[in-house]
Structures are given as C-alpha cells and as structure tokens.
Amino acid sequence: MSKKGSNRRNNRNNNRRNNSSYGSGGSDGGKPGSGRKKAFAVCALIIVCCLCFAAIKYCADRNRDSGGAERQQSTTAGAGPETSGGENGNIPAVDAEDLPGYDGKHYVTVNGNTPEFPDEVTAKAYDASGRLTPYEFYGSLDDLGRCTIAYGCLGEETMPEKGQERGDISPVHPSGWAKAQNWERCHLIAWALSAEDDNPGNLITGTHYLNYDGMRPLEEETERYIWNTGNHVIYMVKPWFSGDELVARGVQMTARSVEDKGKGISFNVYCFNVTPNASIDYATGIVTTKEQAEQEPRLYVINKRSGVFHYPSCEGAQTMSPHNREEVTATRVELTSQGYVPCGYCEP
C-alpha cells in the first residue's frame, strides 16, 4: 500500500507541475527537457483539434439534415482534445448548434460509442521502457477561466486511499458559477477515480442532472471495474462550451480499459449540462425554472383575433397580420389568467 501510495503521490506531483507550467506560451505541460517532443505534441494536438471540429460540424449538419432522428444512436460531437487552450489561450469557438441538442436523454453517444484518444493521451500512459504508468493530466484554464480538458490513465494508483475523505471543494468557483442557482461543482474526473479535491482544472459549473444522472453512472462503472480487476482505464473528459459562454453546454466522456483492450470499459458519450424544466443562460450561469419564468414579466406578441400569445422570435409572431398583432409586457400567468393561450409551437 505504501508503495502504491508513494507512486500515486509522484504521479500526482508530476501533474501538479504540469498544471502549474500551463498557459505560458502554449506549453503542453510535459516533463522538463522535452521541448522538441512538446512542440511536436502541440502540433499534433492542433491538427487533431481541427479534424475534430470539422467532424462535429459535419455530424451536426448531418443530424440537421436527417431531422435529428438518428441522434440517440449516431455520432454527434467529436472527440476533441485541446490541452493548452489553443494559440491564444482560448478554446476554439464552437456554436451551440454544432453540439448535440438535448431531447430528453442524459447523454448521446459520440462516434458510435467508440472511444477515440489523441496519441498524446495514450502515449503518456507508458514510460520510456514501455511500462504502463498511471497518470492524471489537467489542462490549464483558458483566458475566460474555463476548464479545458482532463485525462489520464486511471487505476487503483490514482484513486483515493481506503478511508480517505474528500476534501473541501467549496472555495473553487468554476467559470459561470452564479450564486443561488443550485449549481454543483462537477468534477471532470470524479474524485473516486482521481482523488482530486479542489483542482480548478477539474471542476466545472454543472447541474445536478449532469453530475448525478449523466456522469455518475459511467464514473461508477469505471470505479467498479478498476476495483474488481485491478486494471487501468484511459479516461478523457472534456467540457464543451459554445462561443464565449462560461457554463459548458455538455461534457464529453471517453474511456477505454487498457489490459483487456476495451472489453471491460468502452464508451464515448456527450452528457448534457441541463436541467429539465429550466432554462439556463450559459453565458451568465443564471437558471430560470419554468415557475420563475411564469412569474417574470417579459415581451410577448398576442394575436388579438385568436387569443394565442407567442415569443417575439416565433415565426407565428413574425408573420402575424399587423391588424391582429399586439405586443405586451406581462407575466405568463397574467396572460393565461386573461384567457390567452400559449402558442403550441414556441411554447411561451
């Protein structure tokens, strides 16, 4: 146990070093004295990034074309690794519409549920003599303070020791953390797998739905597998942000067991950072429940003839005859109590 423990400490110390050397001139946080290797790895990562964004765009387009019907089974987001936050410390921008759309399930599979890892991620799992070496890696925060990526080769060595208790994570305020919105600090790599407490590179602003319903079953599956077999799992978690938004739209989780070549653990999914029945402003972290939305006055467009009310953005509101059209600022409750009926299309 003590040997295992000290290995783990060494691994973790390496990672701390990696993490702190981050964000300066696009360093990938490699070991000291591996400059050429580093440069090569960064180039490779940039290429992989470009490819995967092209893949996302392609898949999203294809989904749109097919009316999104295949979404539950099909590829939707790319396996996108970028570790040092791109050239100027920013995550390359993704449009929300290029990410999978939530339609009631906790997650959708990516790439047919087949894991894909950049070479870097698997290469780091072996030392110079080709021996499997557990490690953890946490990408630096980008210029907007957002998590970029977390990955590693996980095993008993990276897990908390027996009886170890989780430390305090409350001082960390991940990007988009807004007070009193029921946000949870959501570990990219679960504490049970990494023993990482308050590492800011590993904590994002997430909903309970993401944390417990989306991610936890896969984390527990991985944890059980490691305990039962003593094997290792290559594991990568990446939050996906739209544009400059501070709260991630979702989290991609990719894992594959090493010793049995994916027989025990193999998945590649995108979990949604949503709360059913609430709308999230991903730019600010403000969450509005349906009940709150009903209480808050806002602009609606009413059809005086039919008595139907719309959001101003609804096609029904935009094509309405000016003769019947009226704009009002009111709460939803006020309108329904006056007998107005919400449009079935825009569902105001």
Q: Which structure tokens are listed for 55? A: 């893949």
CB of 301 to Zn ion, least distance (A): 8
Task: Give the x/- contact pattern for Zn ion in 289-318, rule: CB under 5 A.
Answer: ---------------------x---x-x--
CB of 322 to Zn ion, least distance (A): 17
Task: Give the x/- contact pattern for Zn ion in 255-294, rule: CB under 5 A.
Answer: ----------------------------------------
Cα separations in angstroms, 66 against 74, 96, 190, 262, 320: 11, 18, 35, 31, 29
Q: Does residue 342 touch Zn ion according to CB under 5 A?
A: no
CB of 43 to Zn ion, least distance (A): 49
Of 64, 132, 312, 345, the residue at the interface with Zn ion (CB under 5 A) is 345
CB atoms within 10 A of CB 348: 20
CB of 343 to Zn ion, least distance (A): 3
Instruction: Report how far residue 241's alpha carbon sits from residue 147's, in angstroms, rounded to the nearest whole number.
Output: 10
> Considering CB under 5 A, how many residues would be counted as binding Zn ion?
6
In one-letter notation, the amino acid at residue 284 is T
CB of 303 to Zn ion, least distance (A): 9
Q: Does residue 58 touch Zn ion according to CB under 5 A?
A: no
Q: Does residue 335 touch Zn ion according to CB under 5 A?
A: no
Of 59, 189, 210, 346, the residue at the interface with Zn ion (CB under 5 A) is 346
Q: Does residue 55 touch Zn ion according to CB under 5 A?
A: no
Q: Give the interface with Zn ion as residue ranges (CB under 5 A).
A: 310, 314, 316, 343, 345-346
